[in-house]
Amino acid sequence: MKAAVVEKIAKIRDNPQPLSFVEVPDPVPAAGQILVRVSACGVCHTELDEIEGRTPPVSFPFILGHQVVGTVAGRGPGAEKYDTGQRVGIGWIGSSCGACRYCRSGRENLCPDFRATGRDLPGGYARYLTLSENFAFPIPDIFSDAQAAPLLCAGAIGWRSLKLAGLADGEPLGLTGFGASAHLVLRLARYLYPHSDVCVFARSERERLFAWEQGARWAGDTSEQSPLPLAAIIDTTPAWKPVVEALANLAPGGRLVVNAIRKEAADKSELGRLDYPKHLWMEKEVKSVANVARRDIAEFLDLAARIPIFPEVEKYAFADANRALADLKAGIIRGAKVLMID
């Protein structure tokens, strides 16, 4: 089968073609696994983190991609959950031990044996992949393959972030960065909290205009002061500066939820600007998001279908995977980017 693989750690600026297109053997499903013929795979900033070494894959060469939509093309021994030909989705969570205290309490995203699709397990930048049938999800008919792909990570981790924010209807929410995840969070928040204003902080005018279009009450630069103190802010950026700026915009008792697998190191010195009275006093909280649990994906797919929420999608041919990653690195963002594998 054809696959796009990353062969080494390198900065995108030094290696603008980080993926190589190669032929590899078709995977064969083991016991309890399904074989999925991939039709679409979302492009996530986490792929940049993998390529640039902030959260590298377990080996090289490796197949990235964790927002996968496809159809069941085969089943291993004992796999009976999905029929051949059924459409399924696959997210970042590829497996967990199922026995530790985190798994037993529904917090499998914190499992010490958590394994991620496209980092620890081969991902969806390929014609086929295999995984346990228990970590695949049925895709609601209302969504096309391209629309469904970003729901599996950008949407699910945005939903987890919103739950962790602990927002009540009428309390104002801030979003830092306005890409794949944040534009879905805004739509979700407007539905769940109709009396809450949403303020967006984004470094590019393109993102700010997009936020206005999506119903933000206010949109400004990351360094600007929000028009009102915010009860919660969800940070979806890869940088440290927005974290510091967000803390200054929190109301007393407010919570900052950092929605990122890794942060880039270029402006880590910004943390030295933390001023206790301005940024942390008055019982402000900082909460990180670690991965997603299966429940997050299942809940968000159901919510998105019922509301409904259709992501803004920019499609790329599979052969243009390197261009999609370069555009993401350059901040050329409007909604979510999706590779069409078929």
Using DSSP's 3-state secondary structure scheme, residue 324 falls into helix
pLDDT at 101: 98
Q: What is the pLDDT of residue 192?
A: 98
pTM: 0.95
> What is the rounded CA–CA span in Å between residue 180 and residue 312?
8
Share of the chain above pLDDT 90, in %: 89
Q: Which two tokens stand for residue 234?
A: 């969800």
Does residue 265 carry a pLDDT above 90? no
HSE-up of residue 311 (Cα within 13 Å, Cβ side): 36
Mean pLDDT of 31-51: 97
Look at the domain 155-288 and name its fold. Rossmann fold (3.40.50)
Whether the per-residue pLDDT at 289 is higher than 90: the answer is yes
In this structure, of 74-88, 132-146, 201-215, 259-273, the range with the lowest mean pLDDT score is 259-273
Residue 126 DSSP code: B
Sequence-separated contacts (24+) of 241-245 with Cβ below 8 Å: 241/267, 241/270, 242/176, 242/177, 242/201, 243/176, 243/270, 243/271, 243/286, 244/270, 244/271, 244/273, 244/274, 244/279, 245/176, 245/201
The DSSP output letter for 268 is G
Burial of 9 (0-12, 13-18, 19+ CB in 10 A): middle
Distances (CA, A) of 149 to 20, 70, 317: 22, 9, 14
**Residues contacting residue 34 through CB under 8 Å, at least 6 positions apart:** 72, 74, 75, 76, 79, 81, 82, 88, 130, 131, 132, 133, 136
CATH topology of domain 2-139+312-340: Quinone Oxidoreductase; Chain A, domain 1 (3.90.180)
Element spanning 120, H or E: none
Average pLDDT, the chain: 95
pLDDT, tens only, 73-95 = 999 999 999 999 999 999 999 99
CA distance 114 to 110: 7
The DSSP bridge partners found for residue 314 are 337
Give per-residue pLDDT as tens, 106-117: 999 999 999 999
Q: Residue 264: is its pLDDT beyond 80? A: no
Count the neighbouring beta carbons within 10 Å of the beta carbon of residue 26: 12
Q: List pLDDT tens digits, range 233-247.
A: 999 998 888 999 999
**Per-domain residue ranges of the chain:** 2-139+312-340, 155-288
